[in-house]
Amino acid sequence: MNPIEQFELQRIAPYFINGVDVSFTNSALYMLLAAFAAVLLTIGATSRRALVPGRGQALAEVLYEFVASTVRSTAGKEGMRFFPFVFTLFTFILMSNLIGLVPYTFSLSSQIVVTFAFAAFVITLVILYGLYRHGLGFLKLFVPHGVPAPVLVVLIPIEIISFLSRPVSLSVRLFANILAGHITLAVFGGFVVMLLGAGAWAALSPIPILAVVAMYALELLVNCLQAFVFAVLTCVYLNDAIHPGH
């Protein structure tokens, strides 16, 4: 009945190194499951390499084409060197979101530490690649050109704050969407139970059930969309690292 009970971490195999908790938790289990599902889809389904693809192979091919065209249209041809990274990120988030939608499972993206780790990794990659590719020229990213010098004094800190806010907004968006969605589903599910236990009011219980069904469809959309948005924004940020001069 507690709507946030579903986000609790549980130690499956408690393990401590010098008092540091490195237990195998349900979060770690679902990470493995998501990775395994992605591998199963991309390697398992395409192992036959049929000329006329079956269901699994068609799905894997659509996924590949979709991510490839996203990367190409947002980060350009040069961005394709990051395709493996973006594809991994997208499939992992998508799989963990979809697995998390199954009742009684745990949703990885509902933990801000997981999504922030992704976002921090992305932004570190952007900074490191930008510096590696352009040296200090990468810092031109923070200097909008065609602006008079006095305005730059204000604009450069704003640009830097705006850049630093990217990992925050990237991680919070994914985390908050998934968290809010799962809480809403749990709350409406709880209404059903409460109404059933309230005597004559039980007659009203189909109403929240219908709401849950409708919201479940919406959640399916939101979960896929957020995985996609995460991948697109990763591409947009990588594009900044590739072409910082504007």
Partner 1 sequence: MRAGKNESDQELRARLEKLQTELGKQEEERRAETGGGLPVGGSFGKALSAGFTVLSEFVAAILVGALIGWQADGWFGTKPWLLVLFLGLGVAAGFYNVFRFAAPKDARGGG
The residue (of 120 and 224) whose beta carbon lies closer to partner 1 is: 224
Q: Residue 233 CB, nearest distance to partner 1 (Å)?
A: 9
Q: Which residues pair with 21 in a beta bridge?
A: 16
Helix (H) or strand (E) holding 25: strand 24-25
Q: Residue 229 CB, nearest distance to partner 1 (Å)?
A: 6
Q: Residue 54 CB, nearest distance to partner 1 (Å)?
A: 23
Tokens of 136: 């200090």
The residue (of 128 and 225) whose beta carbon lies closer to partner 1 is: 225
Q: Which residues bind partner 1 (CB under 8 A)?
A: 69-70, 73, 144-146, 154, 157-159, 161-162, 164-166, 168-169, 172-173, 176-177, 221-222, 224-226, 228-229, 232, 246
The residue (of 133 and 166) whose beta carbon lies closer to partner 1 is: 166
The residue (of 8 and 78) whose beta carbon lies closer to partner 1 is: 78
Q: Residue 127 CB, nearest distance to partner 1 (Å)?
A: 15
| Ramachandran assignment for 142, one of left (phi > 0), alpha (psi -120 to 50 degrees), beta (any other) | alpha
Residue 90 burial by Cβ neighbours in a 10 Å radius (0-12, 13-18, 19+): buried
Helix (H) or strand (E) holding 64: helix 55-75
Whether the CA torsion 27, 31, 36, 37 is positive or negative: it is positive
